[in-house]
Structures are given as structure tokens and as C-alpha cells.
Structure 1
Amino acid sequence: MIDADHALRVPRNLHNGRRFMGEPVPFVQGDPGMKMRFAAVATAWVLAASGLAHADQPGTDWIPADQVIQKLTGKGYTNFSKVEADDGYWELEADLNGVRYDLHVDPKSGEITKSEPDSD
């Protein structure tokens, strides 16, 4: 508990020297209401963060991941990894001519929409 010297003080009324709205209002460290509010906010943040950490789910009209890999194999890509649905497209890593690439693939046509050398 905080002593009276560290309590939040209400301004004095300058006309009569008395406190404007009463006595000091101490901050009680064990305030159960504050703990409950903190727990609620912390829980909300954890739930929001955990939802962002998971990859998206493929749409019902998307071609399956194995068909995407089959199409890319036909174009010379090998050694596929990290195949997941993300932000409306298939995202994966694969090798082409000895270079590792980050790929984004259209989920309906199976065509590559982004191909960049992997920076990891």
C-alpha cells in the first residue's frame, strides 16, 4: 500500500484553503478491479496475437497444394517447403537452378504471381 505522502492529491481550492473535492485518493496496489481489467486486456491481446500467427485457410475454390506443386515441378522447381495459404494466395519456397525462391501462386490458376530469391 502506498503511504499518504505518495497518494494522488486533489487540488486545493485557493479561496478557502480546503481541498476542492475531499481528501487524497490513494492508489491501492491490490485493487481487484484493476487486476481484472488488466487480465481482460492481456487476454484480448494474447487471443488477437495468436489469431494473427496462424496461416489463412485455403478457399473452397482453390486448387489443392499438391496440384500447385505438380505445376511448379513441371516448370523446373524442386525441394518445396513452407507451403501454406496466406493473404489470398499459396505461399511457398522452392529451388530453381540451384537458387532458393519465395513464391506466391494464384490459388485458382496455379500461376506464379511473385518469385523472389529467398533472403533467409
Structure 2
Amino acid sequence: MQFTNAKESAIATATEALTAMCIEFLDWFFTDHESGEVDLRLARLKISQAYWQALKYSWERTEPMEDLSLCNRFDLALTATGEVKLLEINAETPLLGAETVYQWNWYVDYRQNHQQSKYPLPSDAEQFNE
């Protein structure tokens, strides 16, 4: 499947909006408007108290548009009407590097074993679809 320029633009716009929303949420989450609010939020998420200080420090030292963009992936779906829907966010996880390998293995397997299926990959498809 290849996206049109309009669909690619819609995905890019949605990704930028989602990134801004995530940063806004995290800034709210890690800001104590009243003493102890952040601790209550971390406790509600069942995060071990041993990690609280490191998490708080991580947000305080972060330049969101630089640091968060390094390991952040949105799984999006494009509806039949062209709407972009968020399925899942994967951020700051050690598996992001491994996912590249999984995607490559899927690509190789699909090229070798599924080209005669109802949904073959285009002959010029490659891993990065440039």
C-alpha cells in the first residue's frame, strides 16, 4: 500500500498534534500544583516509590521536543474516510530498536512467502519505502 501525499500529510499532522498532546499531558502529570500531587499520580499507577525521584528528575531535565522524539512511536490507523486514529503509543522503551529487526524479518518473510497472496507487496517496496 502506498499513501498519497495528502494522506502522508494527514499522518504527519496527526503525529505532530499527538506529540504536542503527550508533552502537554506529561508536563501536567509531573507538575505539583499542590504539594504531593505527582506522588499521588505515580502511586495510582502502581509505580514503585523507589523510581519516583528518577522519573521526576527525568522530566525536569528533559527538553521534550529533543529527548522525547528519539524513542517514540505512534501506531496509527487510517480510516476509509481518511481520518487518522491512534491505536497505541510506544515511547522510551528498549524494544523500539528490536522492533526494527522484527519489521525487517516480517518484510523478508512476506516477500518470500506471500507475494502470491491476495495482498502482495508492490515490486518496488522496500523497508523504508522512500
TM over 0.5: no
TM-score range, shorter chain: under 0.3
Structure whose alpha-carbon radius of gyration is higher: 1
Scaled by the length of structure 2, the TM-score of the pair is 0.23
Q: Which has the higher helix share?
A: 2
- The structure whose residues are more often strand, as a share, is 1
